[in-house]
Amino acid sequence: MQPGQEPQQPSKIRLNKFLAERLGISRRQADDLIAAGKVTISDKTATLGDRIDKNDKVCYNKKIVPFEVSYTYLALNKPTNYVCSRKRQGDTPTIYELLPPELQDLKTVGRLDKDSSGLILLTNDGDFAFSMTHPKFAKEKLYIVELSRALEPLHQQMIADFGIDLPDGKSQMGLARLDDTRKKWQVSISEGRNRQIRRTFAAVGYEVVSLHRIQFGKYQLAGLKPGEFVKVDKSI
């Protein structure tokens, strides 16, 4: 330090950004926790807009949230008949039963329903999860979908070129035929609405017999067997 210079102060970050990264939630959810009085900074109730540095002790529900943390990213090949929630739904097991205890605190990046299979990402990096799932980033997802009957060319055009009106908005998907039966398709979407693919086909009279995700953004299954997982690098 040069004579007369003030010692450099630690740079402060916004509390909601810090909580989102550490807890694997969105910044809006972090703001809700702060507004509800569930977060303290050095034993004082936090307020919206607060900023912190490594010298502050941040607690959520009276548990310390560490300032330094290492991030983990997993790619899992989810089998069918597993749910992505932390608790079993009746007798249906959860994907967390496929993971060792030290990885069970990770959160899923989006979801697949019980009857669907394929690529699921898990992480403790809230910013990463947000960048992969928020519609403004338009991360492409690829699926192999099998239908109960042959998809008529008119319905193919309706889905791919014009979109199908659903209660939560229009659904438009890319379609690539995979065999001559017209039952098996590669489907591409950049949204992530609940059961969007199944609801889109159902709206024009088709049942999805199987749905298997093979790619999410830059991530692919890369030969993982059902139930297997691998640590991956962050790639956005």
Catalytic residue, chosen from 32, 113, 115, 127, is: 113
Domains 13-64 and 140-216 share a fold: no
Q: What averages of pLDDT result for each successive group of 10 residues across the chain (236 residues)?
A: 54 90 84 95 94 93 87 95 91 95 92 96 89 88 97 97 95 96 97 90 97 96 93 85
CA 127 distance to own-chain centroid: 11
Q: Is the pTM of this model over 0.85?
A: no
Q: What confidence score (pLDDT) does residue 1 get?
A: 47
**Are 140 and 174 a contacting pair, CB within 8 Å?**
no
User: What dotted CATH number matches 13-64?
Assistant: 3.10.290.10
In single-letter form, the type of residue at position 169 comes to G
DSSP letter string, 103-115: GTT-EEES---TT
- What are the start-end ranges of the H helices in the chain? 15-23, 27-35, 126-133, 153-157, 196-203
Strand partners, 76: 120, 229
User: What dotted CATH number matches 140-216?
Assistant: 3.30.70.1560
Based on the residue annotation, tell me whether 113 is a catalytic residue of this protein: yes
Spans of all domains in the chain = 13-64, 73-134+219-231, 140-216
**Are 41 and 47 a contacting pair, CB within 8 Å?**
no
Q: What confidence score (pLDDT) does residue 79 get?
A: 97
**Are 169 and 200 a contacting pair, CB within 8 Å?**
no
